[in-house]
Amino acid sequence: MHFLNSIAFSIIKKLIQTGKTLSTAESCTGGLIASSITDIPGASKVFLGGMVVYATEMKLRLLGVAKEVLDYGVISSQMAEAMALKIKLLTGSDYSIATTGNLGPDVMEGKAKGLIYIAVATPEKVHIKELNLQGDRLSNKTEATEEALKLFLELL
């Protein structure tokens, strides 16, 4: 997990330097992004908060994702984008990161194990990254978290 800490450290440092804030909405990563961020001293200056919305109903009820987004599936770029935009709006953060996907071991919604969508909402637009991971649940979760943090750092 040391690699997650080094990426998170760079994120916190850059957010503090720019005076910007971050929030997260996580499904398949189960809070690991928020955990990685809050492991770093100084995170409270820039990390406003996050939600783990694992169940579909929580994506709708807590985050306020429109029911129509379900037409694309819970595991979709559209869901990741909606989650990122909603948490950014709810918290008033400058940036947000959202994840949704299938960690495995079974096919869900006809979508293969390891299919993950990451959304990063910046002040200008939402960036989406699709992953097709091959590991077990835990390694897929860790790799998705790493990829989300790396994408965010690239866009920051």
Strand order in the sheet with 126-132: 47-52, 22-26, 95-101, 115-121, 126-132
**DSSP H or E segment with residue 46:** none
Please count the CA atoms within 13 angstroms of the CA of 31 that sit on its side-chain side. Answer: 8
**133 φ, ψ (degrees, to nearest 5):** -95, 150
- Gap between the Cα atoms of 115 and 31, Å rounded: 18
- Interval 48-94: pLDDT, tens: 999 999 999 999 999 999 999 999 999 999 999 999 999 999 999 99
- Interval 111-124: pLDDT, tens: 999 999 999 999 99
- Interval 1-34: pLDDT, tens: 577 889 999 999 999 999 999 999 999 999 999 9
- Interval 40-50: pLDDT, tens: 999 999 999 99
Question: Shortest CA distance to 84 belongs to which of 1, 8, 22, 156?
Answer: 22
Report the pLDDT value the prediction gives residue 1, as an integer from 0 to 100. 56
* For residues 99-119, average pLDDT: 95
- Say how many residues make up the chain: 156
Question: Shortest CA distance to 81 belongs to which of 101, 97, 60?
Answer: 97
> Encoding tokens for residue 112?
């293969």
Alpha-helix runs per DSSP H in 62-136: 77-91
Q: Are 89 and 16 in contact (CB under 8 A)?
A: no
- Gap between the Cα atoms of 52 and 130, Å rounded: 20
> Encoding tokens for residue 103?
């960690």
| CATH class, 2-155 region | alpha beta
- Helix/strand/coil for 48: strand
Q: Are 86 and 104 in contact (CB under 8 A)?
A: no
Report the pLDDT value the prediction gives residue 136, as an integer from 0 to 100. 96
